[in-house]
Amino acid sequence: MKVLRSTPLSSLLLMVLMALSAVAGSAMRPTHMLADELPALDLQTVVPARFGDWTVQELYSAPVINPQQQDLLERIYSQTLSRTYVNSQGYRIMLSIAYGRNQSKSLELHSPEVCYPAQGFTVLHKDSTSFSLLGKSVDGFHLETRMGQRHEPISYWNVIGSHISTSLLDKRLVDLGYSVRGRIADGVLMRVSSIDNDTAHAYEVQSQFSNALLQSISPMYQERFVGTLQAR
């Protein structure tokens, strides 16, 4: 795994892309939603409450982190889903999914780097990584966080349209690509975490959970959660 570092070149490219996006947006103003070409997505029904060895646990004292007020969440995202699952060994995984039909409203506010520090967590470490999901390699991130005695490793990845996005620059490029074709991309931020002092073990179980979850979702929806292309 590699530690992410920003560079002057990437910052400059991002500024150029943002300027081009603004120009393209004012010139073309795409209005056709990519989501309208796809089966309607209802997270509550598409994501099963029970699959494999995992079952939703309704009452749990360590909730999924979602610090934004509900009205703000509703303005930014079309849907959000937050659940805690438990397996037969009593291990708990917290799942958070944010879905937006319109990526111009952005998913950045829901990223763990924002959510967790806003709740008083310290981000100890962040690595880029690749998850093996549904037989494909999906680029994403591992984030190690702590608040007091609560040590919470996190795995997450972003899907913009049919692309896996690993940076704001990626996202702007994908958005621009859809814009020039007259479309507004939708997107999903997938996040799983667990309270576990053994970080390596947490990431291993999170990977197993994510694969089992995605395999349990109807094939007609699976690509909405893992994409088909890597943004570069």
Residue 4 has a pLDDT of 46
Q: Which residue has the tokens 């073309």?
A: 28
pTM over 0.75: yes
Question: Which residues of the chain are under the pLDDT cut of 70?
Answer: 1-28, 60-75, 103-110, 229-232
Structure-token pair, residue 226: 């893992």
Q: Are strands 32-33 and 183-184 parallel, antiparallel or unpaired?
A: parallel
E strands in 79-149 = 79-86, 92-100, 122-133, 136-147
Rounded Cα distance between 155 and 128, Å, is: 10
pLDDT digit string, tens, across residues 19-57: 655 555 445 577 777 877 888 899 999 999 999 999 999
Judge residue 189's burial from the number of C-beta atoms within 10 Å of its C-beta, 0-12 exposed, 13-18 middle, 19 or more buried: buried
User: Which pLDDT does position 18 carry in this prediction?
Assistant: 62
Burial track 216-225 (b if 16+ CB lie within 10 A, e otherwise): ebeeebbebb
Nearest 5°: phi and psi at 38?
-115, 160
Q: What local confidence, expressed as pLDDT, does residue 10 receive? A: 65
Distance CA 49, CA 80 (A): 15
